[in-house]
């Protein structure tokens, strides 16, 4: 992420330097005006303590956007927590904002999503994901899109469609790995998760014509989500928007071909074996809305699961005892299959449900890895909670990392301890997939995909890190080097 941002800064730096004096003067003038306006509009309200900016708001934004370790709040939050406590206000990203590292405050906001608060993100997000993306919209349209998504990743679909596809795609990927040849685990996990999603969204198998081109377009699209929103030819943001256009163009062609085949066959229903067919049959969405839905689901299913896989591998490498116990669990599953005469290399749903310690490892990796460190909401009404007022229209940023690193909930929270999930399997302070109306519909898919990946990885390979790497980020942690490692194959189990 830092390399992408550095590139963007390099591209815009000459123009920025020329405009810096005017920019600074404008910021100071606007800051004074905004501060005066906010003071008038919030007169009589009991707002949380904090610094609403002024000329120093530039530094506030720079500190806020600075990358930090996945298991920390970062300098901006830590400094404000020390000054003002767990709930404070500031002026960042061009908006008055209330920040929270208080678990009760966060739970209140998440459970009142759709009532008192709504999803809120930068406009650039809707430019890339689409203005009708499920990750951007609110209200009835969001409910409808979420309902379609929940059906797509329901238990019956996981059993019959996703599970065999994940087995096949993971096994094929690992057959191509070469011993003692370094590769980036992030890239390999990306291949798995992308191919699984595209197979079940568009019935497009890995290796077929157009699949690899679509994957490359998507990788370019993803880089734009992490880049500065500079719309200039050659920048990552510009390339991402071009990739979005190309991806949507391909989706439209596939969609039109589905409609043509249905009409040519003279049948009443679409084949509903993938998400596109299901949406065409069970909704009245426009072509634009279908494109945004499919692209958003590929993004959500790809990014969340990729992070879960890579985080699990990362933390297991540093905990030999957990690695040993996890490998024993998976050896036991294979031996049990062989004992009943099942020689298949793939896994069944019953095999998956036996992976109890695997689920502990995944939960602990998600807790420490904080695949989403913070989320942003906006108050749709004037709200009063815990003695503080939240004015309508203000942004609210919740640090989910604070719930996962709370020592009153988790003993030694900085320690990777998967056994804690055997001692206390349920925790209301465990929010890796969010909570409420915005809770990730694909959380079980992410867990199953991670578990199957780990099953084949642990049974077939020993591995070592080639370079030290650690997940960093201000909102979505990324491995800056892609977690480079090399593997050695293990003997086949008898």
Q: How far apart are CA 328 and CA 454, in angstroms?
A: 12
Neighbours of 122 (CB within 10 A): 13
Instruction: Extract the tokens encoding 83.
Output: 């000054």
Instruction: Extract the tokens encoding 270.
Output: 């679409």
Q: How far apart are CA 209 and CA 24, in angstroms?
A: 51
| H or E, element range at 396 | strand 395-399
Tokens 């409910």 belong to: 143
Residues 6+ apart with CB under 8 A from 24: 58
The number of residues in the chain equals 494
In Å, how far are 46, 95, 352, 483 from 57, measured between CA atoms?
22, 11, 50, 35
Which residue blocks in 266-354 are alpha helix, DSSP H? 275-282, 287-317, 320-339, 349-353
- Phi, psi dihedrals of residue 58, rounded to the nearest 5°: -60, -45
Q: How far apart are CA 391 and CA 436, in angstroms?
A: 22
Instruction: Extract the tokens encoding 20.
Output: 């810096």
| C-beta separation of 247 from 224 below 8 A | no
Residues 6+ apart with CB under 8 A from 375: 397, 398, 400, 434, 438
Q: How far apart are CA 107 and CA 96, in angstroms?
A: 21
| C-beta separation of 194 from 218 below 8 A | yes
Q: How far apart are CA 155 and CA 445, in angstroms?
A: 9
In Å, how far are 107, 284, 306, 320 from 442, measured between CA atoms?
21, 23, 13, 30
Q: How far apart are CA 364 and CA 420, in angstroms?
A: 8
Q: Is 440 annotated as a binding residue?
A: yes
Q: Which residues contribute to the annotated binding site?
A: 440
What residues are designated binding site for heme?
440
């Amino acid at each position: 992420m830092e390399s992408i941002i550095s590139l963007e800064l390099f591209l815009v730096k000459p123009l920025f330097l020329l405009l810096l004096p005017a920019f600074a003067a404008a910021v100071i003038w606007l800051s004074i005006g905004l501060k005066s306006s906010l003071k008038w509009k919030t007169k009589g309200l009991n707002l949380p303590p904090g610094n609403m900016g002024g000329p120093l708001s530039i530094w506030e934004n720079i500190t806020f956007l600075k990358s930090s370790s996945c298991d920390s709040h970062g300098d901006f939050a830590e400094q404000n927590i020390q000054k003002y406590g767990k709930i404070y206000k500031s002026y960042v990203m061009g908006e008055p904002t209330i920040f929270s590292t208080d678990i009760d405050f966060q739970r209140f906001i998440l459970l009142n999503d759709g009532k008192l608060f709504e999803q809120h993100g930068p406009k650039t997000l809707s430019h890339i994901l689409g203005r009708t993306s499920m990750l951007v919209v609110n209200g009835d349209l969001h409910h409808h899109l979420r309902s379609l998504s929940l059906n797509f990743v329901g238990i019956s679909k996981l059993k019959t469609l996703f599970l065999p596809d994940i087995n096949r795609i993971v096994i094929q990927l690992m057959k191509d790995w070469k011993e003692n040849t370094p590769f980036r685990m992030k890239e390999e996990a990306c291949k798995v998760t992308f191919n699984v999603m595209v197979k079940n969204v568009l019935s497009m198998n890995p290796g077929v014509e157009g699949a690899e081109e679509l994957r490359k377009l998507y990788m370019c699209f993803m880089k734009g989500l992490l880049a500065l929103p500079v719309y200039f030819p050659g920048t990552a943001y510009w390339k991402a928007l071009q990739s979005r256009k190309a991806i949507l163009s391909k989706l439209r062609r596939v969609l039109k071909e589905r409609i043509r085949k249905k009409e040519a066959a003279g049948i009443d229903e679409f084949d509903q074996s993938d998400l596109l067919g299901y949406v065409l049959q069970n909704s009245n969405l426009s072509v634009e809305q279908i494109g945004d839905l499919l692209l958003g689901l590929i993004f959500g299913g790809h990014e969340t699961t990729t992070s879960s896989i890579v985080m699990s591998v990362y933390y297991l490498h540093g905990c030999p005892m957990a690695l040993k116990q996890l490998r024993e669990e998976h050896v036991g599953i294979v031996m049990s299959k062989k004992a009943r005469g099942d020689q298949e290399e793939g896994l069944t749903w019953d095999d998956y449900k036996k992976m109890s310690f695997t689920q502990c490892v995944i939960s602990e990796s998600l807790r420490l890895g904080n695949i989403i460190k913070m989320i942003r909401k906006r108050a749709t009404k004037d709200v009063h909670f815990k003695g503080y007022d939240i004015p309508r229209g203000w942004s609210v940023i919740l640090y989910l990392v604070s719930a996962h690193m709370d020592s009153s909930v988790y003993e030694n929270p900085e320690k990777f301890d998967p056994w804690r999930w055997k001692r206390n399997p349920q925790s209301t302070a465990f929010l890796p997939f969010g909570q409420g109306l915005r809770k990730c519909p694909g959380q079980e898919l992410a867990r199953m995909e991670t578990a199957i990946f780990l099953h084949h990885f642990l049974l077939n390979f020993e591995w070592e890190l080639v370079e030290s790497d650690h997940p960093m980020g201000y909102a979505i942690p990324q491995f800056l080097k892609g977690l480079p490692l090399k593997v050695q194959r293990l003997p086949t189990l008898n």
